């Protein structure tokens, strides 16, 4: 009984230590993977992620570029925040979203058509930007 009990005690101790090790171990690994998210803003011949942020106050653009230049094949994301309800429309790609005050509206698409495309607000007929997709 003495030896058998000792062996069981050792096995139990090892099991507890391994369990504790497994519980504690995955955390640093998960942290490094979340901090590794980076945005690629360099230009080149490959497809890139292009993210543009806009802010609208009273139907006018108060933050954001008026001319967006991307290359065919790019992944384009446009985030728009408005203080008033607005209907936001990107022509050509025909992306339309209803903006609610204070909430970010997002359109996301692959720039697979070349040319110039206007984005406007339907209510105030205000131009937000012109998207230029270069071959």
Three-class SS of 57-112: ECCEEEECCCEEEEECCCEEEEEEEECCCEEEEECCCCEEEEECCCCEEEEEEECC
d(CA 90, CA 45): 25
Q: Which is nearer to Cu ion, 74 or 120 (CB)?
A: 120
**Residues of span 72-91 touching Cu ion by CB under 5 A:** 89
Q: Which is nearer to Cu ion, 72 or 89 (CB)?
A: 89
Residues in contact with Cu ion, counted by CB under 5 A, come to a total of 1
CB of 99 to Cu ion, least distance (A): 14
CB of 122 to Cu ion, least distance (A): 6
Q: Which residue is nearest to Cu ion (CB)?
A: 89
Binding site for Cu ion (CB under 5 A): 89
């Amino acid at each position: 009984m003495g030896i058998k009990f000792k062996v069981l005690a050792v096995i139990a101790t090892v099991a507890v230590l391994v369990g504790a090790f497994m519980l504690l171990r995955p955390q640093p690994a998960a942290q490094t993977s979340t901090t590794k998210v980076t945005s690629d803003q360099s230009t080149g011949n490959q497809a890139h992620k292009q993210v543009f942020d806009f802010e609208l106050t009273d139907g006018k653009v108060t933050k954001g570029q008026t001319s967006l230049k991307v290359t065919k094949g790019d992944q384009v994301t446009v985030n728009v925040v408005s203080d008033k309800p607005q209907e936001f429309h990107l022509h050509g790609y025909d992306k339309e979203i209803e903006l609610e005050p204070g909430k970010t509206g997002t359109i996301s698409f692959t720039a697979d058509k070349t040319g110039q495309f206007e984005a406007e607000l339907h209510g105030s007929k205000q131009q937000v930007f012109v998207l230029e997709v270069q071959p």
